[in-house]
């Protein structure tokens, strides 16, 4: 996540309004906005496979699997992130018409050289403010050509 250090403060409301109109996805962290970079082929394949596996596993539950087009609102941390995969089983998320969820139980992020430090550090700290979160999984596809959970 690259943030312009000279960037001025943006309110969450202004961020959400701009995000609805933007063709590019942006994440929001405490008044700062950063553009998300497009995913590479291995990332897309892994996301698709996890979506299918988790969806099948959760078929008999009131949970939904969401991929990178949905934001997670972390109110305490004042952040909106687009995780690579999120699962929510909270009926408050299932009934909301908003373009984000508030109560993730599982978050999966894919590591890349440019995001790994933040995913393991600041973003992990932010995600821990979600009391509903049970698992935070980091995935790397750069380990000897295989998939590794970190």
Domain-embedded: residue 3: no
Q: Which residue segment(s) compose the domain that 62 sits in? A: 38-140
CATH of the domain at 115: 3.90.1570.10
The tens place of each residue's pLDDT in the chain, 150 residues long, gives 444 555 789 999 999 999 999 999 999 999 999 998 888 888 889 899 999 999 999 998 989 999 988 999 999 999 999 999 999 999 999 876 788 999 999 999 998 888 899 999 999 999 999 999 999 999 987 654 545 554
User: What whole-number distance in Å separates Cα of residue 53 and Cα of residue 16?
Assistant: 31
Domain-embedded: residue 25: no
Domain-embedded: residue 2: no
**pTM recorded for the entire structure:** 0.86
Domain-embedded: residue 13: no
Neighbouring C-alpha atoms within 13 Å toward the C-beta of 144: 2
Domain-embedded: residue 7: no
- Please give, one letter per residue, the 3-state secondary structure of 52-72: HHHHHHCCCCCCEEEECCCEE
Domain-embedded: residue 84: yes
Six-digit token string for 103: 């109560």
Domain-embedded: residue 105: yes
User: What whole-number distance in Å separates Cα of residue 40 and Cα of residue 33?
Assistant: 22
**What is the total count of domains within the chain?**
1
The predicted pLDDT at position 149 comes to 52
């Amino acid at each position: 996540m690259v943030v312009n250090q000279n960037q001025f403060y943006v309110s969450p409301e202004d961020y959400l309004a701009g995000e609805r109109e933007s063709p590019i996805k942006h994440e929001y962290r405490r008044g700062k906005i950063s553009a998300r970079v497009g995913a590479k082929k291995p990332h897309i394949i892994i996301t698709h496979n996890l979506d299918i596996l988790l969806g099948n596993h959760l078929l008999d539950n009131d949970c939904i699997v969401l991929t990178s087009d949905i934001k997670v609102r972390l109110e305490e941390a004042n952040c909106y992130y687009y995780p690579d995969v999120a699962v929510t089983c909270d009926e408050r998320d299932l009934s909301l018409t908003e373009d984000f969820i508030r109560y993730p139980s599982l978050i999966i992020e894919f590591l890349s050289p440019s995001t790994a430090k933040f995913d393991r550090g600041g973003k992990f700290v932010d995600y821990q403010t979600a009391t509903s979160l049970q698992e935070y999984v980091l995935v790397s596809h750069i380990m000897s050509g295989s998939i590794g959970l970190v």
